[in-house]
């Protein structure tokens, strides 16, 4: 941050007017206008800024948090503040009516050569808002977004107003900044100069060597942390905007930016005179034709593929001049061969020409009139898909009455049921049962993208904290008096799935549980995770807890409510703990879940008086169950145990495996 003298010099350098200085002073001196929340979809939180000396709020970890990272590490940015005082905006609506609103921008940024407000939004939200308010959000020909009413208010004060879209996010840079966050915050000057000189000499002798090769060569002499510290400090040059440090086999190291440019120019010259060993005849058009073949294969049913396989075997035998007898008529075989050759010319793949396409056979023209089809769609979307949750039969009966009133043919009940089944399950459940019920049918991530929620690239990058009430009744070992059900709080490393810490208590979740789980993590590992993902519980909003995170520069993220997949790392552990450990102990409540006639209801259940009280304390049993068997067993999805993954990843060379 700027001190008073530097601030005055900066104002004089830009020649700011008195009214402008008053506006800037108000943004610098006031607390954030509001406490942000992520709503139903976004992940909100607080980022501990070393540049500002305070925590900076963000409402979305896919738009605002990347902006905060760039502001934090951009040398041209002097200061930035979240949720500055509101400003008035005046603009005409889509209907032409004049509208005036008080608007709170996301950030107020002071740069070397400018100062002003910044509003961060996703590209999709901006496109929707541009339709709703065309005079407030405008897209330029270059793809950049502007806010004319915001610019008008800012220009009157000699300031600027910018709209920052999610399309401006460089996800490689963001991923690298998060990977190097611990190294950027610590002092790299305590590394021995001899080690630094030796590493630089190796890189200068072999410019363009990969990070994985360097880590292997110096594995017995230099710790990986030293290499990453040199990259974070700039002593070793890496183009952080192009490559990802979590994939060391693809990261090339250089002594400086000039050496990287020379290496790049030399590589281009070698590529120009070298032999191109690509596939001959591969063009952009061929790629599009090939995608058409893929589409036909993806649409084929299992029966279509089985028929195509049989036809393909016969066609290939005939093309190879086979003399073996064939039971298929000769005319049919010739027709298959013609289809095979036609598809080979059109799509580059003759196999797709042999697909049966049973779904396209027959007369599939609807027998219903257009008015009947429109009524069918209307009743399915508006009558059946409604919070009243009418049955299919009741909704169809209403449709039939409507058709009879208009004197048109009504769709049959089977047709109505077919139309209901063809509707998207997620949308149908959302309209009939609400948002929480439809969450289980939400779309799945079939492929990873830069914006896909990740579990980090290294241990201690992301940690999840959550609570659960164990499914067991505990009694006092001395008096036999029922003590109730204990609460378990766990801290899970998202990258390795290792349990970093746990805390067992009979108290309901509070700030004490949160503080104790962090205390146990420091006791075991002498450090805290870089980012903590939490739910919206009041215990995680405690002043003491947030102060502790800010003191040790931990980023806090709050996941959206009623979306358990954001906390699947902990939820999976809770289910495994109950099924494989708690439900095998005496006093567990599993029989009560089935509510047989011979067992009292949950509210009147007490442990038996003759329950065996001998055995290790609950805390000791929990320690054995959490730390030993569960995290030493190999996971099918990872190929190794969480403990092995945690240890291997911290060594460095095999980080991407």
Report phi then psi at 127, rounded to 5. -65, -40
Q: Of 506, 495, 509, 500, which is closest to residue 527 (Cα–Cα)?
A: 500
Q: Of 159, 3, 2, 13, which is closest to residue 79 (Cα–Cα)?
A: 2
342-372, pLDDT tens digit by residue?
988 888 888 888 988 777 777 777 788 899 9
Structure tokens, 642: 């969480």
Can you give the pTM of this predicted structure? 0.76
SS3 (DSSP) at 467 = strand
419-448, pLDDT tens digit by residue?
999 999 999 999 999 888 888 888 766 556
SS3 (DSSP) at 313 = helix
In this predicted structure, the answer to whether residue 79 has a pLDDT above a threshold of 80 is yes
538-597, pLDDT tens digit by residue?
999 999 999 999 999 999 999 888 777 777 888 888 888 888 888 888 878 876 665 555
pLDDT band at 218 (very low <50, low <70, confident <90, very high): confident
In this predicted structure, the answer to whether residue 654 has a pLDDT above a threshold of 70 is no
Q: What is the pLDDT of residue 565?
A: 75
Report phi then psi at 559, rounded to 5. -75, 160
Mean pLDDT for the stretch of residues 267-276 = 50
Structure tokens, 522: 């420091």
Compute the radius of gyration of the chain from its Cα atoms: 32
* Domains contained in the chain, CATH given: 4-169 (3.40.1350), 174-255 (no CATH), 284-360 (no CATH), 370-441 (1.10.10), 462-651 (3.30.420.10)
Distance from chain centroid for Cα 296: 31
């Amino acid at each position: 941050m700027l001190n008073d003298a530097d601030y005055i010099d900066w104002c004089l350098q830009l020649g700011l007017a008195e009214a402008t200085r008053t506006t800037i002073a108000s943004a610098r001196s006031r607390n954030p206008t509001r406490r942000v929340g992520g709503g139903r979809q976004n992940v909100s939180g607080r980022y501990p800024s070393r540049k500002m000396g305070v925590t900076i709020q963000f409402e979305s970890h896919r738009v605002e948090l990347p902006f905060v990272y760039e502001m934090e590490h951009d040398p041209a940015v002097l200061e930035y503040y979240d949720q500055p005082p509101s400003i008035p905006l005046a603009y005409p609506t889509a209907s032409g009516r004049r509208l005036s609103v008080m608007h709170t921008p996301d950030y107020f940024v002071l740069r070397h050569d400018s100062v002003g407000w910044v509003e961060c939004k996703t590209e999709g939200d901006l496109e929707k808002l541009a339709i709703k308010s065309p005079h407030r959000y405008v897209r330029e020909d270059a793809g950049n977004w502007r806010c004319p009413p915001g610019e008008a208010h800012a220009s009157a004060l000699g300031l600027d107003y910018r709209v920052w879209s999610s399309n401006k996010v460089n996800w490689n840079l963001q991923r690298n900044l998060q990977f190097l966050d611990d190294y950027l915050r610590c002092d790299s000057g305590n590394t021995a100069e001899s080690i630094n000189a030796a590493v630089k000499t190796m890189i200068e002798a072999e410019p363009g060597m990969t990070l994985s090769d360097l880590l292997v060569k110096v594995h017995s002499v230099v710790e990986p942390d030293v290499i990453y510290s040199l990259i974070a400090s700039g002593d070793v040059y890496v183009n952080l905007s192009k490559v990802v440090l979590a994939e060391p086999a693809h990261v090339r190291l250089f002594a400086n930016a000039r050496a990287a440019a020379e290496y790049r120019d030399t590589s281009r010259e070698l590529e120009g005179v070298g032999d191109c060993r690509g596939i001959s005849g591969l063009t952009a058009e061929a790629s599009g034709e090939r995608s058409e073949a893929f589409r036909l294969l993806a649409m084929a049913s299992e029966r279509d593929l089985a028929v195509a396989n049989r036809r393909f075997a016969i066609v290939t035998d005939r093309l190879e001049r086979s003399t073996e007898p064939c039971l298929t008529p000769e005319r049919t075989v010739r027709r298959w061969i013609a289809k095979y050759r036609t598809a080979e010319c059109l799509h580059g793949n003759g196999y797709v020409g042999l697909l049966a396409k049973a779904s396209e056979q027959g007369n599939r023209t609807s027998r219903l009139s257009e008015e009947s089809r429109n009524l069918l769609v209307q009743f399915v979307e508006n009558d059946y898909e409604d919070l009243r949750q009418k049955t299919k039969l009741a909704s169809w009966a209403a449709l039939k009455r409507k058709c009879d009133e208009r004197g048109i043919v009504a769709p049959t009940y089977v047709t109505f049921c077919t139309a209901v089944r063809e509707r998207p399950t997620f949308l149908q459940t959302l309209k009939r049962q609400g948002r929480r019920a439809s969450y289980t049918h939400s779309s799945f991530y079939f492929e990873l993208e830069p914006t896909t929620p990740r579990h980090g690239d290294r241990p201690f990058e992301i940690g999840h904290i959550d609570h659960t009430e164990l499914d067991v009744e505990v009694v006092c070992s001395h008096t036999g008096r029922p003590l109730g059900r204990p609460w378990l709080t766990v801290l899970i490393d998202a990258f390795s799935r290792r349990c970093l810490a746990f805390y067992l208590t009979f108290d309901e979740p509070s700030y004490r549980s949160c503080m104790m789980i962090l205390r146990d993590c420091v006791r075991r590992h002498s450090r805290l995770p870089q980012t903590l993902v939490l739910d919206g519980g009041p215990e995680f909003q405690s002043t003491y807890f947030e102060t502790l995170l800010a003191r040790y520069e931990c980023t806090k993220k709050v996941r959206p409510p009623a979306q358990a997949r954001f906390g699947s790392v902990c939820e999976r552990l809770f289910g495994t703990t109950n099924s494989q450990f708690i439900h095998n102990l005496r006093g567990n409540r599993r029989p009560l879940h089935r509510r047989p006639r011979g067992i009292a209801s949950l509210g009147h259940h007490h442990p038996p008086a003759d329950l065996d009280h001998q055995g290790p304390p609950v805390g000791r049993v929990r320690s054995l169950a959490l730390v030993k068997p569960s995290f030493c067993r190999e996971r099918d999805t990872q190929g190794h145990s969480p403990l092995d993954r945690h240890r291997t990843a911290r060594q460095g060379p095999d980080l991407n495996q």
